[in-house]
Structure 1
Amino acid sequence: MELSDKIILLTGASRGIGREIALAFAQKGGKLVLAGRNQEAPDETRAGVERAGGEAIVVAGDVTDAGWRQSVIEKTEQTYGGLDILVNNAGVVSAGWLESLSEADVEQQLQINLMAPILLTRAALPALRQSSGAAIVNISSIFGLLGMPFYATYGATKAGIAHFGEAMRRELVDQGIHVMTVYPGATDTPMMETAGLGDKAGFAYDTPESVAQALLEGLEAEQLTVVRADDNSQSMLDANQQNPRQLDEQIREMKPKLEEAVANHRSM
């Protein structure tokens, strides 16, 4: 897929992986619509996009709001004349024993990580169908491939968005819209500042720049998935397929350290 001069709608564009995705598209001359919950942080990303050679507007709002979802599609078409790529990147996390999570945290993860991207995709489809080279990119997680304790709700949303993408790929296979799912591992972003998965649980942190670059390379090659797994994560993914009971025992042994590592992991 040729990525030069594409029109991209990107949620969660304020920081971390989203910000780096925006900057990577900007280097291809992209025209970006940057979505975030407030105006100030996406404005900083917009300035970076313009310095990198792209164009950008900011449309702040709540991805869970139906009116905002429709308005951001309309604003994209009004500003740039269409839409080529939708990147569903916005996400939140609240880790811990399931019964210790508030209902509000459970519901918000479901709404932002799963319901909102499904409904935004639904709203974007008419515009995407008008593009000669359209794509939908859903940002899942390694925890969407590997169920881990203390991330039951988060993992459910990330597995859900992955299966949504797979189903939509097959639904749209004859309509000129490519669908790709990206599975980042633990990544050095503000979302991970309250987690201790590196020092305490042995996961090697990726960089948001590397994830963004892999995303663009995946689109250019029309890959179906992009998996960013460190050696520890990959060995666990392999074990989960080959001998899940053995992995259960491995995780049982590491669970006390994992519980300590994620005790304060919350980014909502």
Structure 2
Amino acid sequence: MSALTIVLTGACGGIGKALAVAFSSAGHNLVLIGRNAEALAALRDGLPRPRSHRYLVADLSSAADIIELCADIADGPAIDVLVNNAGVSNFGLLSDTDDATMEQLLQLNMLAPMRLCRELMPLLLKSQNATVINIGSGFGSIGFAGFAVYSASKFGLRGFTEAMQREYANEQIAIHYLAPRAVKTSMNSDKVVAMNTDLGNAADDPEVVASAAIALLQQRKSSNRYLGWPERFFVRLNALFPSIVSSALKKQLGTILRYAKSS
């Protein structure tokens, strides 16, 4: 595959950095998106072929910033790929979650990818290799106690991706939903890490997600990919027999609540 130009949001996060390294190492050119100019510059300068990449600063929770960002992208080289990776998480009981936290989760995890897809789709469809990769979560298919709002945002992103796959089925574009299980990044608080340890939940390195994203660039047919075993199995089981998964998760509820209440 020839070099692609990839717009990557959340470039300075744990998964974002792994994606940036993987894409640039594969010979692709990047438009790195984030909120911190110094961090973006440092990331770009540390990548292979730094002069082949550029960065743009934007607050993706702002609709106005997204419009301005997309105008800046349109003024640059043609783009081939959009990777919606930016996002935030929150662990705690719904009763302890304030409106500001809810709004931030929905703005960044769901509305920002929707707005970016809407604004950049005309540019992407000009490419022979047009691709969108939406980074979701296993919690976008399995609602998990302590992550009610986060799960809702990722359920929304998954539904949006599915609808887009069908809406653009006649176009030459691959639209993917990539759902990691727990990933070893700073997004997870110490309490989340401790809870996962108690529950025996495995966590992947960010490079596992990056490797999966690289593989998706080779696929010209839209797809949904879930990472990790037995997580992939439980996603399918929950879709067919949710009561079985609910019974299994109820056995973990005491442990989850113990950590969530102390968050």
TM-score, normalization: structure 1?
Answer: 0.90
The amino acid of 2:228's aligned partner reads A
Other-structure match for 1:14: 12
Partner Cα separation in structure 1 for residue 131 and residue 240 of structure 2: 33
Aligned amino acid, residue 149 of structure 1? A
Runs of at least 5 residues in structure 1 that lack an aligned partner in the other structure:
none
Q: Does structure 2 retain, via aligned residues, the 8 Å contact 1:182–1:215?
A: yes
Please, which runs of 5 or more residues in structure 2 have no aligned partner?
none
> Which of 71, 76, 86 is the aligned partner of 1:74?
71
1:6 maps to a residue whose letter is: L
Q: Contact 1:140–1:183 (CA<8 Å) still a contact in 2?
A: yes
Question: Structure 1 residue aligned with 2:44, among 24, 46, 59?
Answer: 46
Distance 1:220 1:160 in 2: 26
Aligned length: 260
User: Does 2:49 align with 1:56?
Assistant: no
Cα distance in 2 for residues equivalent to 1:262 and 1:43: 36
User: Residues 193 and 236 (structure 1 numbering): CA distance in 2 closer, same or farther, change over 3 Å?
Assistant: same
- The letter for the 1-side match of 2:124 is L
Contact kept? 1:25, 1:54, Cα under 8 Å: no
- Seen in structure 2, the aligned counterparts of structure 1 residues 28 and 53 have a Cα distance that, compared at 3 Å, is farther
Matches within 5 A, 1:1-268: 2=1, 4-49=2-47, 51=48, 55-80=52-77, 82-194=78-190, 195-196=192-193, 197-222=195-220, 224-231=223-230, 233-262=231-260
**How big is the shift at 1:21?**
0.9
Which secondary structure does the structure 1 equivalent of 2:112 belong to? helix
What SS does the aligned partner of 2:196 have? coil
Q: Distance in 2 between matches of 1:12 and 1:18?
A: 6
Q: What's the % identity of the aligned pairs?
A: 32
The TM-score, its normalising length taken from structure 2, stands at 0.91
Runs of 4+ aligned residues of structure 1 deviating over 6 Å after TM superposition are none
Deviations 1:133-165 (A, max 9, x none): 111111110000111111111111101111111
Aligned equivalents of 2:241, 2:119: Cα separation in 1 = 41
Letter in 2 for 1:121: C
CA contact (8 A) 1:29 1:55 kept: no
Deviation of 1:263 after TM superposition, in Å, equals: 5.3
The root-mean-square deviation of aligned C-alpha atoms, in Å, is 1.9
CA drift of 1:67 comes to 3.0
- Matches of 2:215 and 2:172, distance apart in 1: 19
Q: SS of the residue aligned with 1:198? A: helix
TM-superposed CA distance for 1:52, in Å, is 6.0
Structure 2 Cα separation of the partners of residues 113 and 37 of structure 1: 15
Distance 1:254 1:163, change over 3 A: same
Return the offset for 1:210.
1.0
- Of stretches 250-259 and 137-146 in structure 1, the one that deviates more from structure 2 is 250-259
| 2:123 aligned partner, one-letter code | A
Q: SS of the counterpart of 1:9?
A: strand
Alpha-carbon distance in 2 for matches of 1:191, 1:119: 23
Deviation at 1:90, TM superposition (A): 0.5
- Give SS of 1:192's match: coil
Q: 1:14 to 1:262 in 2, by over 3 A?
A: farther
Deviation at 1:238, TM superposition (A): 4.3
